[in-house]
Amino acid sequence: MAIDCMVTRNNNMTSKEDQEYETNKTNKPLIFDASLMKNESNIPSQFIWPDHEKPNCASVTSELQVPLIDLSGVLSNDPIEIKKATSLVNEACSKHGFFLVINHGVDTNLIKNAHVYMDKFFELPLCEKQKAQRKIGEHCGYASSFIGRFSSKLPWKETLSFQYSAEEGSSHIVEHYFQRTMGENFSHLGKVYQDYCNAMSTLSLGIMELLGLSLGVSKNHFKEFFQENESIMRLNYYPTCQKPELTLGTGPHCDPTSLTILHQDSVGGLQVFVDNEWHSITPNFNAFVVNIGDTFMALSNGRYKSCLHRALVNNKIPRKSLAFFLCPNKDKVVTPPIELVDSNNPRIYPDFTWQALLEFTQKQYRADMNTLQTFSIWLQETQA
């Protein structure tokens, strides 16, 4: 998951060049039309990654050993199961920030429908999808490989991102988005993804209870912090690529958000960088992949890790995923609870709002694995 997140040059502040359309030799804008690009044997240079970041398709990647957290006992308040789950979560999040959850309470038919309608959207002609075209400097809308924002190391994917809010009075925000951007014929998609986001918000608040307990703070501390979350939902489509060894579906990155809840289809491609090597996470339809983002790393005062990950493409089957990025309400100040700060564990990051970090990644910095550290330095310098 990423909000346009890729590892790039050391000086990652965006330039004017990055914000203009990349053109080809005939001065026509580069267009990523998946229906055409999937058959392209000579992929455009803008999609070719540097040698040190290209995937090694010839090697066998070992599977990351991530804990499988059974939430049935947690949801039923079984103290033994809660203790077991918090221990597993603490171990995983202290090392790499990834774990899986099963028996999560999310309706299976809702998950299936979310995948079905994702297929329907990405199968539309490009001109139809562009009705929801994302504007430069914004984080929501349809994006075909982020062309127009960056000029190199482009990801081999299409995305549709939209805002979700758990605030009172915003109960139809997703439905209204689809009606407003795509038209009344897409009202049913809006209803499906409104319900899906509601389920993800509920699930993420339950996970926040676990995270609170695992860190030794109040069970409700983080849950209450995210109660009126203003989150982001993203549909990811990775078309087949004739030269998968040259490009990436999503470049190496750490999510700048708080928590990501990902549902993969049956096609593998997600990899996590742990112990100096890439590991895969095998798709499991019955499980959600959960990972810590930069914002929660700051909330935990660095105790829990926001880990480097990426997505690969292949030349046989397109890959799709559903990503819910939990984000706090824009007015919330990101600061760790007092239990996580002492003489042995001083503050690592300054106070900030999610809105400030989001704007930083959208307008000033091409997010990568150093986003939080760079943002913290930038924030302290601007406030000095």
- The set of catalytic residues is 319
Q: Which residue has the tokens 């038919």?
A: 109
Amino acid letter, residue 38: K
Q: Distance (Å, rounded) from C-alpha 84 to C-alpha 69?
A: 9
DSSP letter at 98? E
How many C-beta atoms lie closer than 10 Å to residue 294's C-beta? Answer: 27
Closest CA to 352 of 371, 374, 373, 335: 335
In terms of DSSP bridges, do strands 158-165 and 230-238 run parallel, antiparallel, or are they unpaired? antiparallel
Closest CA to 12 of 368, 379, 381: 368
Instruction: Decide: 237 and 318 in contact? Cβ < 8 Å.
Output: yes
Segment holding 198, helix H or strand E:
helix 187-214
Q: Distance (Å, rounded) from C-alpha 206 to C-alpha 56?
A: 37
Q: Distance (Å, rounded) from C-alpha 176 to C-alpha 170?
A: 10
Q: Distance (Å, rounded) from C-alpha 233 to C-alpha 155?
A: 18
Segment holding 117, helix H or strand E:
helix 108-122
User: Quick one: how many helices (H) and strands (E) in the chain?
Assistant: 11, 14
With H, G, I as helix, E, B as strand and everything else as coil, classify residue 222. helix
Q: Which two tokens stand for residue 306?
A: 């926001």
Q: Which two tokens stand for residue 176?
A: 């209204």
Q: Distance (Å, rounded) from C-alpha 98 to C-alpha 272?
A: 9
Amino acid letter, residue 354: W
Instruction: Please give the sequence-ordered ranges of beta strands (E in DSSP) within 174-249, or none if there are none.
Output: 230-238
Q: Which two tokens stand for residue 212?
A: 């609170």
Burial of 169 (0-12, 13-18, 19+ CB in 10 A): exposed
